[in-house]
Amino acid sequence: MEKSEGEAMSERVRSISFLASEAPGATEAANRLKALYGQEDPNQAEVVVALGGDGFMLHILHRFMNSSIPIYGMNRGTIGFLMNEYREEGLRERLAAAVENWIHPLSMTAEDEHGEIREALAINEVSIFRQSYQAARLEIRVDGKLRLEELVCDGVMVATPTGSTAYNLSAQGPIIPIEAPLLALTPVSPFRPRRWRGALLPNHQTVEIVTLEAHKRPVNAVADAQEVKSVRRVTIRESMSDRCRILFDEEHSWDERILAEQFRY
């Protein structure tokens, strides 16, 4: 007997690993899904299904960076912009039909007040924040050329297309389609120059942010969830040697989410 298209598709995804956040709803969902579809070692699975919110999804993407294992998120958290809708039925078919995107993270190199160098990767954004009640004073260079001699602000960030709908959007930064070769450089509460709203940069360019009056106006640098305190200089570029795979349902792909987000009012 000839197999249906759904049966043929489901056979293409045989081994799944379910990883859940600590939220009760996520762990309960993982237990139900494991009973339905089995549980593979995450390092041997064809697909890893992450159950939680966007923060947990970022954690899983970092964990499986450069492994080539595709990550499919199902929302058991709050916002879930990186996640697909939670449904228990027909999961193998959904995974087989999912749209795949490769994500290149940002590489952050930060020098702290003691001259120690710290490196980290960021899938969403690298952010610089003031550490005290005083506004930060920052100098910004792009590919070595001075672009802003002084930015007085609460902070500034460099966001990837993936991160453009996260904190970047809350700071009035632009939304970037996932395939666009661009990065968003977005200020947080700029005081001087007051009307500067940021810039879109080609993703091959390097951004260097220097802290002015570092002792008087200390700032921290954050690459996703990794923080470096009291930084003097931060260099940010897209890493072409690091990447991770993310899957979205075909009817609700990343491109569709980006387009829909731009028409929200």
pLDDT in tens, the chain (265 residues): 333 434 444 457 889 999 999 988 999 999 999 999 999 999 999 999 999 999 999 999 999 999 999 999 999 987 778 899 999 999 999 999 999 999 999 999 999 999 999 999 999 999 999 999 999 999 999 999 999 999 999 999 999 999 999 999 999 999 998 889 999 999 999 999 988 999 999 999 999 999 999 899 999 999 998 999 999 999 999 999 999 999 999 887 777 777 777 787 6
| Residue 170 · residue 189 · CB < 8 Å | no
166 is in an annotated binding site: yes
Q: In this structure, what CATH number is given to the domain that contains residue 37?
A: 3.40.50.10330
138 in the same domain as 81: no
167 known member of a binding site: yes
Both 112 and 194 in one domain: the answer is: yes
Provide the token pair at 120: 């980290």
Whole-prediction pTM:
0.89
The catalytic site residues sit at: 54
Residue 186 sits in the same domain as residue 119: yes
Tell whether residue 19 is among the known ligand binding residues.
no
Regarding whether 75 and 54 lie in a shared domain, the answer is yes
The answer on whether 54 is annotated among ligand-binding residues is yes
Residue 97 shares a structural domain with residue 111: no
Range of the domain at 118: 106-238
In a shared domain, residues 185 and 258: no
What would the two tokens of residue 9 be? 């598709």
- Provide the domain count of the chain: 2
Same domain, 179 and 248: no
Q: Are residues 177 and 79 in the same domain?
A: no
**Range 186-214 burial, b when 16+ CB lie within 10 A, else e:** bbbebeeeeeeebbebebebbbbbbbbeb
**3-class secondary-structure state, position 125:** strand
Q: Do 215 and 228 share a domain, yes or no?
A: yes
10 Å Cβ neighbour count for 131? Answer: 14
Based on the domain organization, do 91 and 120 belong to the same domain? no
The answer to whether the annotation marks 235 as part of a ligand binding site is no
Quick one: 45 and 161 in the same domain? no
